[in-house]
Amino acid sequence: MHEKLSSIYDNVLRRNPGETEFHQAVREVLESIGPVLGKHPEYAESKIIERICEPERQIIFRVPWTDDRGEVQINRGFRVEFNSALGPYKGGLRFHPSVYLGIVKFLGFEQIFKNGLTGLPIGGGKGGSDFDPKGRSDREVMRFCQSFMTELYRHIGEYTDVPAGDIGVGGREIGYLFGQYKRITNRYESGVITGKGLAYGGAQVRTEATGYGCAFFVDEMLKARGTSFDGRRVAVSGSGNVAVYTIEKIEQLGGRVVACSDSSGYVLDEKGIDLDLLKQIKQVERGRLDVYAERRGDNATFVAGRSVWEVPCEVAMPSATQNEITGRDAAVMVGNGCIAVGEGANMPTTPEGIKVFLEAGVAFGPGKAANAGGVATSALEMQQNASRDSWTFEFSEHRLEEIMRDIHDRCLQTADEYGMPGDYVAGANIDGFRRVADAMLALGLI
Ligand code: GLU
């Protein structure tokens, strides 16, 4: 790492003890932007990087609620408003027992550059809670969401901070959160939250956007290498919103997805994942993956407690959670003939894993770029809400596709410009950083 950047990184470590995921996210960006400082001394002079690493505002709050037995439960809520140079803070809410400040800050930090890369007017933020929705009834989830919003509402707004979903927060939770915001504020402020249902101000394609966008991005990486998804064997991790719509689009593009996973294990289905069955089990019944193999019969096997990355594939789409592909997994994948990776999740590959992929010449699409379709379509939802309009599915998907192809091209061009051809990690970090840095420079000392 550049000497100046390494002392900035040491300061980040000192000021944010124990937040390992945040350290990892900062390190990856700082390792990429050394060459930018050579060309732009003004960034260092005005301490842009030090400022970017410090969130503008961090909110931590108590979330009390009662479960179905009448027992009082206490969770912790977070919203980190990281950077508003490009627009209102924008980023999802994650409800998962692993959530603590370090996770929210890593996600918020990544979101700044991801949102910059989309070219749309959105700043970076993220929030969530250590609440675990698994096994909770709809009523419990509603009471939790209402209590969470009863504090959060005072910090957000269409022009201030616009949350959305992430792990554990989907259509059901967004509905309860928006309902409570509307009730407390007495404002039908559609643009305060995205990922809304189509019945009350949501946008076409938002549900599908992260997965579809990631498939478009990888399609473009493959095309840049003179090939395509057609006939390729693909493995996807996860079976939530991102995984499901990644599978859907890859099947439309001619690929064959043979595996997906959840926290209990993975399913191998050589004929290709049956998407209707997967949606029924995961989205309607909220069940586990072993049920998929049971119902699919002889076609599929469920492998309990093992990593999906042992399944040989030509294209890998990690769509579950952070740090799910280790250096060792990556080495196995490369050995099995993997030629492309598209990160649908945020930071699913460890630094060791990324190194293995880049050294092996794998086309590696980092989450900041490859999964930006979700937040980009959120910005399109805000645009439709602001103009009190709603677009067709076809038009919205066309916009998403254009945005993803544009992000792809800019990553490649930027990597070329800095003498690192084909390095999408460097391209994404540098392009995202420059956009935010230039806006911050123009705005004075903020
Ligand atoms: N949670 C998603 C992400 O990681 C979407 C955020 C949004 O739509 O605001 O980008």
Residue identifier of the C-alpha nearest atom 9 of ligand 1: 91
Q: What CA–CA distance (Å, rounded) separates 181 from 169?
A: 16
Asked whether residue 165 is marked as a ligand-binding residue, the answer is: yes
Q: Write the pLDDT tens digit of every residue in 353-405.
A: 999 999 999 999 999 999 999 999 999 999 999 999 999 999 999 999 999 99
Q: What CA–CA distance (Å, rounded) separates 342 from 318?
A: 7
Q: What CA–CA distance (Å, rounded) separates 173 from 182?
A: 14
Q: Which residues are catalytic?
A: 126
Asked whether residue 228 is marked as a ligand-binding residue, the answer is: no
**Which of 96, 104, 166 most suits a substitution to test ligand 1, by most atoms within 8 Å of the C-beta?**
166
Degrees to nearest 5, angle at CA 60 with 57 and 63: 145
Asked whether residue 91 is marked as a ligand-binding residue, the answer is: no
Asked whether residue 241 is marked as a ligand-binding residue, the answer is: yes
| Distance of CA 108 from the midpoint of ligand 1 (Å) | 10
Question: What 3-state DSSP class applies to 395?
Answer: helix
| Distance of CA 206 from the midpoint of ligand 1 (Å) | 10
Residue boundaries of the structural domains of the chain = 56-188, 209-370
- For the whole model, what pTM was predicted? 0.97
Q: Which residues of the chain have pLDDT under 50?
A: none
Which pLDDT does position 3 carry in this prediction? 87
CATH superfamily to which 209-370 belongs: NAD(P)-binding Rossmann-like Domain (3.40.50.720)
CATH superfamily to which 56-188 belongs: Leucine Dehydrogenase, chain A, domain 1 (3.40.50.10860)
Which pLDDT does position 199 carry in this prediction? 97
Which pLDDT does position 299 carry in this prediction? 84
Which pLDDT does position 228 carry in this prediction? 98
Which pLDDT does position 353 carry in this prediction? 98
Shared fold status for 56-188 and 209-370: yes
Using CB distances shorter than 6 Å, the residues near ligand 1 are 90-92, 164, 166, 194, 346, 374-375, 378
| Distance of CA 139 from the midpoint of ligand 1 (Å) | 25
| Distance of CA 92 from the midpoint of ligand 1 (Å) | 5
Residues in contact with 433: Cβ distance below 8 Å, sequence separation at least 6, in sequence order: 29, 32, 33, 36, 52, 113, 116
